[in-house]
């Protein structure tokens, strides 16, 4: 049996119309469809599962209805199974969810016919170490951010491959994938990386010295950020999940041993940049 799944953004009223129509389309094409609990709020359906359990049912692909945040959540829940994600933009900016609602059904048709190409995106694996013990573990498609929770500086020690890089004071540090280079890191003054670049990006947030600039390293690097002084803070992953961090904590980041697969329409990356960032407009 052909199997697909749907993940949706909560509290999106238009999905009350979209979801039933999509389910009818899948049924007409011979698919059994599993939906997460957020999608179940918009329809009655017999195959409702937790988002984290979708991969167990081995769908050929997952349709993500929402914005970039919904896709990031789906990637953390499902991405490790390397099941392709087809994201439809119901949000605002949409760097990742490039398929417009008007293109939903052509994109679905292209997907089931094997004509929708996929891209593999780097994922960060992040470990929070406290007193020599791991207390939290997260995976990030965009970024891991260590920052102050109040308007005070934190003293950081940054090491790469067990070598000291720098000790500096800043509001925080962003460790980003190429996919995440167009997110928080970009707003903090970091460069845009093409998604296929095999790199990890380190961007300080409001550093106390103007000489501390963003740094791009190979994606085989092992990165360690230690809180040395100042206030406590928070580790935030993809801007959605996280945990408090305290003085002496160490956050270790490296490339995960899997990649997230995104199904894409044939829109060149630089077209997306020009559209989303308004490049070239006068």
Angle at the Cα of 34 from the Cα atoms of 258 and 112, rounded to 5 degrees: 70
Q: Are strands 172-176 and 143-148 parallel, antiparallel or unpaired?
A: antiparallel
Q: What residue has token string 């845009």?
A: 192
124 CB-contact burial (10 Å; exposed 0-12 / middle 13-18 / buried 19+): buried
Q: Are 88 and 107 in contact (CB under 8 A)?
A: yes
List helix spans (H) across the chain: 15-28, 37-40, 68-78, 104-112, 184-187, 269-277
Instruction: Indicate if 249 belongs to the active site.
Output: no
Cα–Cα distance measured from residue 206 to residue 204, given in angstroms and rounded to the nearest whole number: 6
The active-site residue out of 36, 53, 68, 103 is: 68
Distance CA 91, CA 97 (A): 8
Pairwise CA distance, residues 256 & 75, whole Å: 13
Active site residues per annotation: 68
């Amino acid at each position: 049996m052909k199997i697909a799944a749907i993940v949706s953004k909560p509290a999106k009223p238009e999905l009350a119309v979209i979801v039933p129509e999509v389910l009818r389309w899948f049924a007409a094409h011979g698919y059994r469809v599993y939906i997460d609990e957020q999608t179940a709020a918009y329809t009655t359906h017999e195959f409702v599962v937790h988002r984290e359990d979708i991969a167990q049912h081995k769908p050929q692909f997952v349709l993500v209805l929402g914005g970039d945040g919904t896709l990031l959540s789906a990637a953390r829940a499902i991405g490790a199974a390397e099941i392709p994600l087809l994201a439809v933009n119901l949000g605002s900016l949409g760097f990742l969810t490039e398929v417009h609602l008007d293109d939903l059904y052509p994109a679905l048709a292209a997907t089931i016919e094997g004509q929708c190409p996929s891209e593999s995106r780097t994922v960060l694996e992040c470990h929070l170490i406290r007193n020599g013990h791991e207390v939290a573990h997260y995976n990030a498609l965009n970024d891991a951010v260590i920052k102050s929770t109040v308007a005070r500086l934190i003293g950081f020690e940054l090491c790469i491959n067990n070598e000291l890089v720098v000790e500096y004071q800043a509001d925080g540090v962003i460790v980003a994938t190429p996919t995440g280079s167009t997110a928080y890191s970009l707003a903090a003054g970091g460069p845009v990386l093409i998604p296929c670049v095999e790199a990890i990006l380190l961007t300080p947030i409001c550093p106390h010295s103007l000489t501390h600039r963003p740094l791009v390293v190979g994606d085989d690097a092992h990165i360690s950020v230690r809180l040395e002084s100042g206030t406590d803070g928070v580790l935030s992953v993809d801007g959605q999940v996280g945990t408090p961090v305290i003085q002496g904590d160490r956050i270790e980041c490296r490339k995960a041993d899997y990649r997230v697969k995104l199904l894409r329409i044939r829109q060149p990356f630089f077209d997306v940049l020009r559209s989303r960032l308004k490049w070239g407009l006068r």
